[in-house]
Chain A
Amino acid sequence: MIQFARRYIHIVDTVNRRLGRVMMYSIFVMVGILLWSSISKTFFLPSLWTLEIAQFAMVAYYILGGPYSIQLGANVRMDLFYSGWTTRKKAQVDAITVLFLIFYLGVMLYSGWDSLSYSLKYGERSPTAWRPYLWPIKLTMCIGLFLMLLQAISELIKDIATIKGVKL
């Protein structure tokens, strides 16, 4: 059981960290798209695709980068009481409240999956001049939400290990 938990945490954390480390450099991709958009607007014909590609890039940036931001501890907590607790007490409360986070992510993934299969079935396109298909970005979002869910479960396992005093 402990062996399994260890392997799970190792795999999930490694995958998410590597993905996050790649995604963090994609800020330059966004800068590039937007710069191209302003250059093409000033000197040539305005590009139709830049606006939406930039939006897609931003969504990929924060959804796929999300699990890594959890690992970095970037997600603020209201620490009025939390900061005064011992590590054990923190883990105990977190182990319960993280279930709410998992529920929220689960609901998002569920309806995201619905929305993705609708897009695939009817070939849904964005109602703009460029008319891109919407399924690639929805697929990215579903993958990101799934990884986020895996990361939240990994945090739960770490909390349980802290409560039981097991070293992982």
Chain B
Amino acid sequence: MQYELIGLLMFSSMMLMLFTGQRMFGAIGAVAAVAAITLWGVGGSDIPFSSAIKLMKWYPLLTLPMFIFMGYVLSESKIADDLYKMFHVWMGPLNGGLAIGTIGLMVLVSAMNGLSVAGMAIGATIALPELLKRGYDKRMVTGVVQAGSSLGILVPPSVVLVLYAMIARQPVGQLWLAGLIPGLIMAAMFVIYIAVRCKINPSLGPALPVEERNISTREKLRLLSAGMLPLGIFAAMMVPFVNGWTSLVEASAVGAMAAFLAAILKGRMSYKVLEASVRQTLAISCMFMWIILAALAFGAVFDGLGAVKAIEYLFTEQMGLNPWIILIMMQLSFLIMGTFLDDTAMLVIVAPLFVPLVAALGFNLIWYGVLYTITTQIAYMTPPFGYNLFLMRAMAPPEITMRDIYQSILPFVLIMVLALAMMMAFPEIVLWLPNYVYGN
């Protein structure tokens, strides 16, 4: 049988297994194990276990539990409440100011953890009820929280970029720096969108009434100091790393410790919070690790087949396509897959297929990492199957229906697609900072 066909067979049997609803790592791992043994006999049976050894030797993976822990400490201990109050007081007098402040809050939360879950939890449980109480349009603010929290995987530290780095064999530090400016640009685009819409139609985001604005300057300044906390945690983590005093992994441990100490100092660390944070960290870390383990085995079999080479040959030689057209086709198919594939599945299944192809076409893999992350972000948010949509449903106040959630994200998805197109057209936006810092 031809290698492309075997590859196709593996891929479709994995999809079939995934649709049965078995635990994802079991579905992927079983297909890998069966394929390896069928192809290479007893020698092939070593592939699943040797991917566990490969996983152990991949040092940057240690950042994963650290950043997940950070995120859970932040959301469980509710130290972000003060942050929200700061934005509330300072941005409230503007039309749409609280929504803009929520984007700011999300950027700060993103800088302290590597997933979008923490941002989502903080946004949906703290910001959203306040915004609704102040008469903000529920469709707009639901979109704001979802779009804002998705920045968590683009602004450093980012767990998605750590995983991408592992698959693409690229340095994590450069990838993180590459994600920073696009993340801020996207946040700015969200802010502009909110400001313009509220300017045209102030009833979408009414300014705070005068009596609520009457807060002493002293109190205002005190609240401003709440903003120092995330900046402090971020600095404690990034300064030693960028200066080369600590490695990336050590910096993540410093960050985890800083978040933990901050929660203790603020008097928010009870046994309940501690137990919930470490338990959920274990659960989510195990979920990721076991899926990566299975996906590595799958990828190893796939590599062994040389299926990617065959696909590349088909596109470039036989069909004579321009690399850019292939890249755009890949992003489009990625977006379409994202609407019905689970986010974790996308991360571990699609990347091993796409990344070697992108490299073979001669594109910069750091740049592609950012494109990849933005596409994942969009996939997180597009109906019918978006991780963020379901999280939102679980966390949002009851007056927000699934229909509101679906409708709310549309403008933000369009903004993100626009941002994606910008990054594709002008790679300098992405590559300038890492090149500047690492003096390439």
- Does B91 touch A at the CB level, under 8 Å? no
Interface residues of B in 10-67 (CB under 8 A from A): 17-27, 29-30, 32-34, 37, 45-46, 48-50, 52-53, 55-57, 59, 61-62, 65-66
Q: Please, which residues of chain A bring their CB within 8 A of the CB of B53?
A: 115
Partner of B287, one of A23, A35, A69: A69
Q: A34-B249, A62-B286 are in contact. Are A76 and B29 (CB under 8 A)?
A: no
Q: How large is the interface on B (under 10, 10 to 19, 20 to 34, 35 or more residues)?
A: 35 or more
Best-buried of B59, B250, B285, B344 by chain A (most CB within 10 Å)? B250
A27 vs B282: C-alpha distance when bound (angstroms): 8
B222 interface hit (Cβ, 8 Å): no
**CB-based nearest B residue for A138:** B53
Contact status A107-B37, CB under 8 Å: yes
Q: In the complex, A25→B25 CA distance in Å?
A: 24
A9 within 8 A of B: no
Residue of A nearest to B61 (CB): A58
Tell yes or no: B309 within 8 A of A by CB. Answer: no
Contact partners of A141 in chain B: CB under 8 A: 52
**Which one of A23, A35, A74, A93 has the highest number of Cβ atoms from chain B below 10 Å of its Cβ?**
A74
**Residue pair B257, A35 in contact (C-beta under 8 Å):** yes
Chain A residues positioned under 8 Å from B57 (CB to CB): 55
Interface of A is mostly: helix
Q: What's the nearest-Cβ distance from chain B to residue A72, in Å?
A: 5
| Interface of chain B, main secondary structure | helix
Known A-B contacts A38-B246, A72-B279; A93 and B21 likewise in contact (beta carbons under 8 Å): yes
Chain A interface extent, by class:
35 or more
Chain A min CB distance to B77 (Å): 15
- Given contacts A20-B282, A34-B62, A61-B285, is CB(A104)–CB(B56) below 8 Å? no
How far does the alpha carbon of A79 sit from the alpha carbon of B257 in the complex, in Å? 36
Q: Does B426 make an interface contact (CB < 8 A)?
A: no
* 0/1 string, A107-147, CB within 8 A of B gives 1: 11011101100000000000000000000010001000000
Known: A27-B281, A55-B62. A104 touches B33 (CB 8 A): yes
A contact set with B: CB distance below 8 Å: 20, 23-25, 27, 30-31, 34-35, 37-38, 41-42, 51, 54-56, 58-59, 61-63, 65-66, 68-70, 72, 74-83, 85, 90, 93-94, 96-98, 100-101, 103-104, 107-108, 110-112, 114-115, 137, 141, 152
Seed contacts A74-B284, A75-B24, A104-B32; 15 additional CB < 8 Å A-B pairs: A27-B256, A38-B245, A41-B246, A62-B285, A62-B286, A72-B283, A76-B24, A77-B24, A80-B385, A93-B22, A100-B17, A100-B22, A101-B22, A108-B52, A152-B26
